[in-house]
């Protein structure tokens, strides 16, 4: 960990707790800042704030006082989930107070290089793949960000021999100043989080921050199949490494005659890869690009790709049971994610879908249902999805109360060679506290089939 004076004797406000806020507050305190933490949860119900107070850090809980910024803060470290429309943030912007997120702190003190991954879909899978490949290649990676430990915790024990592999959201990327990854990746760009960003242009602008500070000795891995990404790449100072699932690229990663190549070198036969779907081919090509830049050999890449079945709850292979292939894609909380999952399979599929009703219809899902032989729906949207299945002419369309009931019914409708896929196209909150809990219940129900 670098010893820096950037924050010494500065009055800094940490806005919002959770894991990243606690980590940021403790780190800033250690770096000699005068830290104040503000969180909307009442102090009596806030063990994180209580712990910080015991460390001598000032805490203000139960709301955001209108006059809070009158204390003369020089910097705000904002929880990524707090939107910029928040009145306190608007006040800070009007006062021209700099606002960062915790990942900026992590970068400032890190001795290790960063491999930073963003995109609309596939961030978690790509991040995990890169971490596993670098680990197999003895490159001493550490995983951080949304799927690992908070970055500013991880970097405190990192050395120059490590590589920090970090998944970053657009929310986090809005709050950087100097953050400069050695390798930056944008996997893909689709419309998302417009409730937070307001427009697609603002969303893309946030994503572009991942390569904003890179220099010519750095690398920017980008999806060549998307015209928007090709245009974005023209803005990069770093060395651009494209990947494509459609065209052979001599200067990047691509597929040709059933073999994955990186800069003209054959890396692995695609039929050896166990992770299904075109969307995962994007993730694989991005991961291979990062691994080859870091210096991982093909044997290590092959060992991982022939054994990596996916990240939990993201088109996760659960098991094969009497010839049926069973997958858990509980993370599919929207229509696009379920479309992508369905397109990963050419075999007859029994789809389990449903959940929180956000008022939308599901007509966009219709073209992706061509291989679905049975649809089992549950949750608040079960009748809407049942109607969709009937419109699609699916052979069997049935409703049940919940995921647990759906599993044995799905198995009873399946034949050897079929795929059974949980991909809800809806959030879980009507019945389950999180998509993880929903996915775990699905997995437990699958194991009960035996």
Binding residues are 119-125
Question: 3-state DSSP call for residue 387?
Answer: helix
Look at residues 251, 243, 256, 312 and name the one whose alpha carbon lies nearest to residue 283: 243
Burial track 188-225 (b if 16+ CB lie within 10 A, e otherwise): bbeebbeebbeeeebbbebbbbbbbbbeeebbbbbbbb
Number of helices (H) and strands (E), helices first, in the chain?
A: 16, 20
CB-based contacts of 54, cutoff 8 Å, min separation 6: none
- DSSP notation for 229-257: HHHHHTT-SSEEEEEESSS--TTSEEEET
CA distances (Å), origin 175, targets 19, 64, 81, 84, 172 = 17, 20, 11, 10, 6
Distance, in Å, from the CA atom of 263 to the CA atom of 249, rounded to the nearest integer, reads: 7
Question: 3-state DSSP call for residue 3?
Answer: coil
Distance, in Å, from the CA atom of 222 to the CA atom of 232, rounded to the nearest integer, reads: 9
Structure tokens given for 265: 């070198």
CB-based contacts of 231, cutoff 8 Å, min separation 6: none
Annotated binding site for ATP: 119-125
Distance, in Å, from the CA atom of 333 to the CA atom of 275, rounded to the nearest integer, reads: 20
**Could you tell me if 267 and 301 are in contact, meaning their C-beta atoms sit under 8 angstroms apart?**
yes
């Amino acid at each position: 960990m670098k010893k820096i004076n950037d924050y010494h004797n500065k009055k800094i406000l940490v806005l919002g707790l959770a894991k990243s806020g606690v980590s940021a507050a403790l780190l800033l305190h250690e770096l000699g800042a005068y830290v104040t933490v503000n969180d909307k949860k009442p102090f009596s119900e806030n063990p994180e704030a209580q712990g910080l107070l015991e460390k001598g850090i000032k805490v203000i809980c139960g709301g955001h006082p209108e006059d809070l910024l009158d204390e003369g803060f020089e910097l705000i470290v904002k929880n990524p989930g707090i939107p910029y429309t928040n009145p306190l943030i608007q006040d800070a912007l009007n006062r021209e107070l700099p606002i960062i997120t915790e990942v900026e702190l992590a970068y400032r003190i890190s001795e290790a290089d960063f491999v930073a991954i963003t995109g609309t879909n596939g961030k978690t899978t790509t991040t995990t793949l890169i971490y596993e490949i670098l680990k197999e290649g003895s490159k001493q990676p550490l995983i951080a960000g949304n799927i690992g430990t908070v970055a500013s915790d991880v970097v405190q024990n990192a050395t120059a021999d490590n590589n920090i592999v970090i998944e970053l959201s657009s929310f986090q990327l809005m709050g950087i100043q100097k953050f400069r990854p050695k390798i930056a990746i944008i996997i893909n760009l689709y419309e998302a989080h417009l409730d937070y960003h307001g427009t697609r242009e603002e969303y893309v602008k946030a994503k572009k921050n991942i390569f904003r500070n890179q220099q010519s000795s750095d690398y920017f891995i980008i999806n060549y199949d998307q015209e928007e990404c090709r245009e974005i790449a023209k803005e990069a100072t770093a060395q651009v490494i494209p990947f494509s699932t459609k065209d052979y690229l001599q200067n990047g990663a691509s597929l040709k005659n059933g073999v994955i190549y990186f800069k003209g070198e054959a890396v692995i036969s695609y039929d050896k890869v166990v992770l299904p779907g075109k969307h995962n081919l994007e993730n694989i090509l991005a991961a291979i690009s990062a691994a080859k830049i870091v210096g991982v050999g093909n044997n290590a890449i092959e060992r991982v790709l022939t054994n990596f079945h996916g990240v939990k709850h993201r088109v996760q292979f659960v098991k094969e049971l009497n010839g049926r292939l069973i997958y858990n894609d509980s993370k599919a909380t929207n229509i696009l994610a379920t479309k992508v999952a369905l397109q990963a399979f050419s075999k007859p599929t029994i789809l389990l879908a449903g959940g929180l009703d956000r008022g939308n219809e599901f007509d966009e899902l219709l073209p992706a249902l061509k291989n679905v032989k049975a649809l089992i729906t549950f949750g608040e949207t079960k009748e809407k999805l049942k109607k969709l299945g009937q419109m699609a002419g699916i052979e069997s369309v049935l409703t049940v109360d919940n995921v647990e009931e759906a599993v044995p019914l799905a198995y009873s409708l399946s034949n050897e060679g079929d795929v059974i896929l949980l991909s809800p196209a809806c959030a879980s909150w009507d019945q389950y506290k999180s998509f993880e809990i929903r996915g775990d219940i699905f997995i437990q129900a699958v194991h009960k089939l035996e």
